[in-house]
Amino acid sequence: MPPRSYATARQVRLGAELRRLREAAGLKAREVAGLLDSTSAQISQMELGFAGVSEERVRRLAAHYACTDEALIDALVVMATDRTRGWWEEYRGVLPSAFLDTAEVEHHATFLREIVMTYVPGLLQTADYARSVFTYTRPELPESEVALRVDHRMRRRTVIERDVPVPYETIVHEFALRVHVADRQVSRSQLRFILDKIDAGQVSVRVIPVEREGFAGAGASMMYLGGPVPQLDTGQRDAPTGVAFIDAQPQLEQLRTLFRRVQAATLEPAASRDFIHRLAKEL
């Protein structure tokens, strides 16, 4: 079977985890190739996410790598055998791959935790708010692509609006709530939309007030996405070239610590809701 022309974030993560297991076992790719009657090049393709792997191969590899974590092995099997074509694939070739990867990782997450400092979280943006953000991009985007980006962002909300929503907790700085990315009407509608989502039980929002002392976490924006087992958690942060996904365990632990530290500077959820309500009434 020829290699894939592209690898999704989920396929890349599966390959990375198989590589970690191999390296932890102290084996070279050529040694594994002999086990599978394959080649080193094909093992590399598999570990980069460009070649598929069957359930039988995942289990054989786990046994050869002396991995005894059954929960992790089962989760890797699900990743390897899931053939679901998500809604985000409709945007393949017309939007940057980072948009699709973000939607895919969110779709499979068991929980979502996010910190935002300068914008309303993407999962909570109204169409007018998102359009204002995307039209501010330089170089200027054509209207057709702005429309696609807005549509994609609105569809991302399915993870918190479906029958069994993904638990979502977000920390938002007051600055992000006060900035008028468009006019007052857009800002007012945006705040009311967040309140509606809170009241519907679809999101937990905590606000960091500007007046909070001892808070030096202005660069803390990130998303933390829970996996089926803790080893498959994922971090996501903005990078100069787009979105960076984080899966190394020491870095994930740093993100968990970061979230706890930032959370300590927030208002409680009920007080945060009242805070947002007051801001909306001021507009």
Residues carrying CATH 1.10.260.40, the chain: 9-81
For residue range 18-56, list pLDDT tens digits in order. 999 999 999 999 999 988 889 999 999 999 999 999 999
Beta bridge partners of 95: 92
Question: Does pLDDT of 1 surpass 70?
Answer: no
Residues carrying CATH 3.30.870, the chain: 96-282
List Cα–Cα distances, 127 to 31, 179, 233, in angstroms: 52, 16, 29
Please state, in angstroms and rounded to a whole number, the distance separating the CA atoms of residues 217 and 137: 25
CB half-sphere exposure, 20, CA atoms < 13 A: 15
Give the rounded percent of residues in the chain with a pLDDT score beyond 90. Answer: 90
Quick one: fold of 9-81? 434 Repressor (Amino-terminal Domain) (1.10.260)
Quick one: fold of 96-282? Endonuclease; Chain A (3.30.870)
For residue range 255-277, list pLDDT tens digits in order. 999 999 999 999 999 999 999 99
39-42 contacts, C-beta under 8 A, 24 or more apart: none
For residue range 152-173, list pLDDT tens digits in order. 999 999 999 999 999 999 999 9
Question: Does pLDDT of 239 surpass 80?
Answer: no
Give the rounded percent of residues in the chain with a pLDDT score beyond 70. Answer: 99
